[in-house]
Amino acid sequence: MTYVALLRGINVGGKKLMKMADIRDCLEGRDFTRVTTYIQSGNVLFESDQRDVATLTSTMEKALSKAFSHEVPVFLRSRVQLKKIVSEAPREWKSSRASLRQNVAFLRAPLTAKRAVAEIDPRLGVDTVTAGDGVVYMSTVMSRASQSRLSKIVGTPIYSDMTIRSYSTCQKILDLMESD
**Shared domain check, 107 and 52:** no
Q: Is 120 within 8 Å of 138 (Cβ atoms)?
A: yes
Q: Is the predicted pLDDT of residue 145 greater than 80, yes or no?
A: yes
In the listed set 53, 81, 109, which residue is the last one of a domain according to the structure? 81
Q: Chain-wide mean pLDDT for the chain?
A: 92
| Mean pLDDT of all residues in 154-161 | 93
Percentage of residues in the chain with pLDDT exceeding 70? 96
Predicted local confidence at residue 9, as pLDDT: 79
**Shared domain check, 163 and 129:** yes
Predicted local confidence at residue 14, as pLDDT: 60
- Counted domains in the chain: 2
pLDDT digits (tens, 9 = 90+) for 111-130: 999 999 999 999 999 999 99
**Shared domain check, 127 and 62:** no
Predicted local confidence at residue 20, as pLDDT: 86
Predicted local confidence at residue 18, as pLDDT: 83
**Shared domain check, 77 and 89:** no
Q: For residue 6, what is the domain's CATH number? A: 3.30.70.1280
pLDDT digits (tens, 9 = 90+) for 58-80: 999 999 999 988 889 999 999 99
Predicted local confidence at residue 13, as pLDDT: 58
**Shared domain check, 88 and 62:** no
**Shared domain check, 72 and 133:** no
Virtual torsion, Cα 13, 18, 24, 26, nearest 10 deg = -140
**Shared domain check, 113 and 62:** no
**Shared domain check, 169 and 107:** yes
Q: Is the predicted pLDDT of residue 48 greater than 80, yes or no?
A: yes
Predicted local confidence at residue 42, as pLDDT: 87
| Mean pLDDT of all residues in 78-95 | 93
Predicted local confidence at residue 122, as pLDDT: 96
Confidence grade of residue 31 (pLDDT, cut at 50, 70, 90): confident
**Shared domain check, 45 and 93:** no
**Shared domain check, 50 and 90:** no
Q: Is the predicted pLDDT of residue 30 greater than 90, yes or no?
A: no
In the listed set 46, 81, 116, which residue is the last one of a domain according to the structure? 81
Predicted local confidence at residue 180, as pLDDT: 65
In the listed set 55, 81, 107, which residue is the last one of a domain according to the structure? 81
**109: buried, middle or exposed (CB in 10 Å: 19+, 13-18, 0-12)?**
exposed
Q: For residue 128, what is the domain's CATH number? A: 3.30.70.1260
**Shared domain check, 99 and 62:** no
Quote the domain boundaries for residue 19: 2-81
Q: Is 98 within 8 Å of 117 (Cβ atoms)?
A: no
**Shared domain check, 62 and 41:** yes
Residue 13 CA neighbour count, 13 Å, CB half: 2
